Structure 1
Amino acid sequence: MRIGIAGITGRVGRLLIEEVLAAGATVAGGTTRTPEQAVGLPADIPLFKTMSELAEECDVVIDFTHADTVVNSAKSLVGTGVAWVLGTTGLSALQTKMLQEASGYVTVVHAANFSPGVTLVQRLAQMMASALPADSYDAEILEMHHRQKVDAPSGTALAIGQAVARGRGVVLADVRESGRDGLTGPRKPGAIGFAALRGGQIVGEHDVLFTSADEQITLSHRAFDRRIFATGAVRAALWTKGRDVGLYSMEDVLGLPPL
């Protein structure tokens, strides 16, 4: 397969080059804002300024750029037949709508986290939330990342929260509690709580806690290397070959049955 990499000069983009080649696929090229950012990349990898240009050269694009690029990327890929593996989080309502519309024309795999371990944590969190009554088991999600991270809670933490909400049959926005400070009053029944820590160069740590008056169950995931995200994204890109158009998740890539 010919795999393009949007944002090829970023930290994950550079890892993606190695993982694509390790998988026996071809790096068809990548997008970059300025040539100066491409220092250190293999000289034989074509560089492009736009998604449209990149799409002309590949079968699938792996995209770990920014939410602000989603609308333009969606418009660029519609009608090309090029699959889109998107790892961008924090999408607005418009960006989500454009992503969904694009999936009516091309194969799209969207995930907040391409780690197989995180995907399984989300699945288990949904199963546990379905089995443990919300009025007896308080759900809290704790995450920690490196000091440079600009968003909180992380996209992965929110995705886990969405899984808990699905298991409970509620809308996350209606029960989410984040950043408690001061006299907040007692914990609201059925709330899904979030806490975000930042420090050092931690790649990503996530804990999901279900706590009752009598016991506590914790699901934990620790990422030691960003390479796990690149490896998972390449796995997803290879999986798109021959797939029908539509919107898929890492659960589909891993072959997990629907709940």
Structure 2
Amino acid sequence: MTDIVILGAKGRMGTMLINRTLADESLNLVGACERKGHADGLNYECAVSDCLEELLPNVPGAVIIDFTAPEASVTMAKTAAKHGNPAVIGTTGLNPEQQAELAESAKKTPIFWAPNMSVGVNVLLKIMPLLVQALGDSYDMEVVETHHRMKKDSPSGTALKLAQVLAEARGWVYDDVKKHCRDGIIGERPQKEIGVQTLRGGDVVGEHTMFFFGPGERIEVTHRAHSRETFAAGALRAAKWLARQKPGKLYSMADIF
């Protein structure tokens, strides 16, 4: 049985993670944590706290699951490393420096980070390079992502990862070819470019489409998340796997596959 601690326990993802953990006989909810002054009302039969530093000594070895915010996730990883607790992170919007900090913490305790916990999205990340290489250089590649109006980062972490994979499959450096916004008289589209465009509105859980515009035809590959449950399921799957791993690298869904 895998012991689980949920961070951001009152949030939409936190609540879903707790419910799925309680419903899974192979998991044991041992802790629920919220921000300072926000732990009131967490009525679960486990340790409840608004301070992870104080909670972790009471739950040695428990896997922390965190879908909060970049700065909070980086701080959490350092705390997890200090106490030797593995941690699964589904937070998006981490910059390269923050990702490097996670990798540093991962040298001391098993840390898993994925910008998208969906099994379907991570399968796409593995197979899209095959499509890119098969189509060849005559196809223009673009990515469009749509999320709910409350999402704070743009483009989404998933859209960035998908676009990076497309660029790598062409042998390009993503930062050299990315185009996150087009406005005004911009001239013809360069061949060596990948556009990533963002839509925001309503309660859309998450939708990503990769376009391949070729001579006389167009290919579209779309992934739609119908419910946040797909992310919760992926995170719990990762937690079960991570509990058996050793520190030394920042793990991802590719490692599970």
**1:53 alignment partner AA:** E
Alignment deviations for residues 50-81 of structure 1 (CA, whole Å, 9 cap, x no partner): 33233331521111010011332232122433
CA distance in structure 2 between the aligned counterparts of 1:171 and 1:4, rounded to whole angstroms = 38
User: 1:75 — aligned with what?
Assistant: 78
User: 2:109 — aligned with what?
Assistant: 106
Bigger mean CA deviation after superposition, 54-63 or 13-22? 54-63
User: 1:44 — aligned with what?
Assistant: 45
Q: How does 1:7-18 map to 2 (within 5 A)?
A: 7-18=8-19
Say whether residues 1:123 and 2:132 are aligned partners. no
User: 1:202 — aligned with what?
Assistant: 204
Say whether residues 1:221 and 2:219 are aligned partners. no
Say whether residues 1:3 and 2:4 are aligned partners. yes
CA distance in structure 2 between the aligned counterparts of 1:213 and 1:178, rounded to whole angstroms = 24
Give SS of 1:182's match. Answer: coil
Alignment deviations for residues 97-118 of structure 1 (CA, whole Å, 9 cap, x no partner): 1111111121121101101111
Structure 1 residues 93 and 231: CA distance shift in structure 2, 3 A: same
Identity %: 39
Which of 75, 91, 97 pairs up with 2:94?
91
**1:22 alignment partner AA:** A
Structure 1 residues 219 and 20: CA distance shift in structure 2, 3 A: same
How far did residue 221 of structure 1 move?
0.7
Specify every segment of 5 or more residues in structure 2 that has no aligned partner in the other structure, as ranges: none
Assess if the C-alpha contact under 8 Å between 2:39 and 2:48 holds in 1. Answer: no
Structure 1 residues 125 and 54: CA distance shift in structure 2, 3 A: farther
Alignment deviations for residues 3-61 of structure 1 (CA, whole Å, 9 cap, x no partner): 1111111100000001112222111112211454653x434232222332333315211
Which of 181, 184, 191 pairs up with 2:183?
181
> Over aligned residues, Cα RMSD in angstroms?
1.7
Assess if the C-alpha contact under 8 Å between 1:142 and 1:208 holds in 2. Answer: yes
CA distance in structure 2 between the aligned counterparts of 1:241 and 1:228, rounded to whole angstroms = 20
How far did residue 131 of structure 1 move?
3.1
Assess if the C-alpha contact under 8 Å between 1:59 and 1:81 holds in 2. Answer: no
Assess if the C-alpha contact under 8 Å between 1:62 and 1:85 holds in 2. Answer: yes
Specify every segment of 5 or more residues in structure 1 that has no aligned partner in the other structure, as ranges: none
TM normalised by structure 1 equals 0.90
Bigger mean CA deviation after superposition, 227-236 or 21-30? 21-30
Q: How many pairs does the alignment contain? A: 252
Assess if the C-alpha contact under 8 Å between 2:114 and 2:252 holds in 1. Answer: yes
Assess if the C-alpha contact under 8 Å between 2:66 and 2:73 holds in 1. Answer: no
CA distance in structure 2 between the aligned counterparts of 1:16 and 1:228, rounded to whole angstroms = 11
CA distance in structure 2 between the aligned counterparts of 1:127 and 1:48, rounded to whole angstroms = 47
Assess if the C-alpha contact under 8 Å between 1:66 and 1:88 holds in 2. Answer: yes
**1:120 alignment partner AA:** V
Give SS of 1:78's match. Answer: helix
TM normalised by structure 2 equals 0.91
Assess if the C-alpha contact under 8 Å between 1:128 and 1:167 holds in 2. Answer: no
